[in-house]
Amino acid sequence: MDFRSLGAYLIITATEWPPARLEFLAHSARPTDFDFLKVIGKGNYGKVLLAKRKSDGAFYAVKVLQKKSILKSKEQNHIMAERNVLLKNVRHPFLVGLRYSFQTPEKLYFVLDYVNGGELFFHLQRERRFLEPRARFYAAEVASAIGYLHSLNIIYRDLKPENILLDCQGHVVLTDFGLCKECVESEGTTSTFCGTPEYLAPEVLRQEPYDRAVDWWCLGAVLYEMLHGLPPFFDKDVAQMYENILHQPLQIPGGRTVAACDLLQGLLHKDKKQRLGSKADFLDIKNHVFFSPINWDDLYHKRLTPPFNPNVEGPADLKHFDPEFTQEAVSKSIGCTPDTMASSSGASSAFLGFSYAQDDNILDS
């Protein structure tokens, strides 16, 4: 879904030191610096927990991953890519920020901004669908974040309601960068088959080289789901769903404005070269008539009032998290630092340069 000082800990920025030096200095960040309070999410390789730093009581979302599981699945490159992308994203208002990352012999820890307004998926399941103004607001903030990633030559590749969080005011926060592809120039392509079945673009299914336009297809699929309650080509049979994505014409139920229908047709065009966003990327989206009510400068600076307020009462308010997670007991091992931080398994060498600490003033500017 998208997760300040540590006592006498020396804080430095990534641009000032090489990874090896960062790794050494960041070792003073340890699991014992935090109280791990609740499980608030799960993934393939670990969990996300609400944690409070002991030194100042600040709350964070800490993503804790098992090295053994990552290495077994040969996913270490994706984890390091996620770490690299997080370092580049700290200045955008609709992307989750990385505060620290560190490791023990068995685990990796991402210390992220804590966002407790709930997943977009959570709210969509509860309300079934959103009215156009609300869907437009979320789609605009997501498009702004995706456009920013593209400006850094990053393709996101896994846009879905589960990866879109709401903050305490109701603004979008995009999270989970494990499937991002870095270093893709504006005319460049990549070819890895990855993503979530309901949101895969036709060119990905055809295993053709694809470009940034896959993210605009995903935006179209998410917008369609916000307006209609299900992804556009959904079928319980995944093979049939893939067939629908590849060959079935887009069906848009009635009751939508002409602008909304035109945007969906443009974003969900099966030919990537004809898809909205294929020419001028984010500018194509920004200039579409559907978004004409949006002042993009005000949107970026969060001067627009969100259409929905999560009404959270503070960091301990977990009403927008699934009780399936929050009622699970927190393992004591998550908050323990081994007697020795040296790894005998060789796992640390697979994640060399993972540890990181960011200057608070830069993050908060």
Same domain, 143 and 289: yes
The C-alpha atoms of residue 3 and residue 45 are separated, in whole angstroms, by 15
Total tally of structural domains belonging to the chain: 2
| Same structural domain, 140 and 96 | no
Q: Range of 178's domain?
A: 120-300
152-177 burial, b for 16+ CB within 10 Å, e for fewer?
A: eebbbbbbbbbbbbbbbebbbbbbbb
Residues 322, 352 within the same domain: yes
Cβ contacts of residue 192 below 8 Å, gap of 6+? Answer: 181
The set of residues, in sequence order, having a beta carbon less than 8 Å from that of 171 and lying 6+ positions away, is: 93, 94, 141, 302, 306
Percent of the chain whose predicted confidence (pLDDT) is above 70: 86
Contact criterion met (CB below 8 Å) for 174 and 95: yes
- In the chain, DSSP assigns E strands to 34-42, 46-53, 59-66, 98-103, 107-112, 164-166, 172-174, 356-357
Q: Which of 300, 327, 348 is the last residue of a domain?
A: 300
**DSSP letter, residue 155:** B
Measuring CA to CA, which residue among 177, 1, 173 is closest to residue 92?
A: 173
Give the closest residue to 174 by CA, choosing from 189, 163, 184: 163
Q: Predicted confidence band at 90 (pLDDT cuts at 50, 70, 90)?
A: low
What is the C-alpha separation between 100 and 29, in angstroms, rounded?
8
What are 26's two structure tokens? 């960041």
Q: Is 14 inside a domain boundary?
A: no
Claim to verify: residue 162 and residue 222 sit in the same structural domain: yes
**Do residues 225 and 295 both lie within one domain?**
yes
3-state SS string for 176-201: CCCCCECCCCCCCCECCCCCCHHHCC
Domain at 337, CATH number: 3.30.200.20
With respect to residue 235, please indicate whether it lies within any of the assigned structural domains.
Answer: yes
Give the per-residue pLDDT at 180.
86
Residues 277-294 have pLDDT tens digits of 999 999 999 999 999 999
Q: Which of 8-22, 128-142, 235-249, 317-331 has the lowest mean pLDDT?
A: 8-22
Structural domain contains residue 276: yes
Domain for residue 306, yes or no? no
pLDDT the model gives residue 12: 26
Residue 63 lies in a domain: yes
**Distance between CA atoms of 180 and 227, rounded to whole angstroms?**
26
| Residues 271 and 320 placed together within one structural domain of the fold | no
Which of 195, 175, 149, 178 is CA-nearest to residue 82? 178
Q: What is the pLDDT of residue 347?
A: 57
Q: Is the pLDDT of residue 300 over 90?
A: yes
Q: What is the mean pLDDT of residues 225-247?
A: 96
Identify the pLDDT of residue 19.
Answer: 40
Select from 300, 324, 350 the last residue of a domain. 300
The answer to whether position 175 is within a domain reads yes
- Model confidence at 188, pLDDT cuts 50, 70, 90, reads confident
In a domain? residue 260: yes
pLDDT over 80 (residue 129): yes
Mean pLDDT to the nearest integer, 51-76: 91
% the chain with pLDDT above 90: 59
Name the residue among 88, 79, 41, 44 with its Cα closest to residue 62.
Answer: 41
Looking at residue 358, its pLDDT comes to 64
**Distance of alpha carbon 240 from alpha carbon 51, whole angstroms:** 42
Instruction: Give the predicted TM-score (pTM) of the model.
Output: 0.84
| pLDDT top residue among 299 and 255 | 299
Q: Is the pLDDT higher at 340 or at 263? A: 263
Active-site residue among 33, 113, 158, 215? Answer: 158
Q: Are residues 153 and 295 in the same domain?
A: yes
Question: What is the residue whose two structure tokens read 């079928």?
Answer: 235
Mean pLDDT over each residue of the chain, to the nearest integer = 85
Asked if residues 109 and 102 have their Cβ atoms less than 8 Å apart, the reply is yes
Please confirm, yes or no, whether 56 is among the known catalytic residues. Answer: no
Q: Are both 108 and 131 inside the same structural domain?
A: no
236 is in an annotated binding site: no
Please check the confidence at residue 361 and state whether its pLDDT lies above 50: no
HEC letters along 94-125: CECCEEEEEECCCEEEEEECCCCCCEHHHHHH
**Same domain for 259 and 147:** yes
112 and 135 both lie in a single domain? no
Rounded CA-CA distance 266/32 in Å is 50
Examine the domain organization and report whether 45 and 110 are in the same domain.
Answer: yes
- The pLDDT tens digits of the residues spanning 241-275 come to 999 999 999 999 888 999 999 999 999 999 999 99
Nearest 5°: the CA angle 194, 349, 356 is 80
Domain final residue, candidates 300, 334, 351: 300
The CATH number given to whatever domain includes residue 253 is: 1.10.510.10
CA angle 175, 168, 49 (to 5 degrees): 50
What pLDDT is attached to residue 89? 61
pLDDT top residue among 35 and 356: 35
In this structure, the answer to whether residues 214 and 170 fall within a common structural domain is yes
Is 222 a domain residue?
A: yes
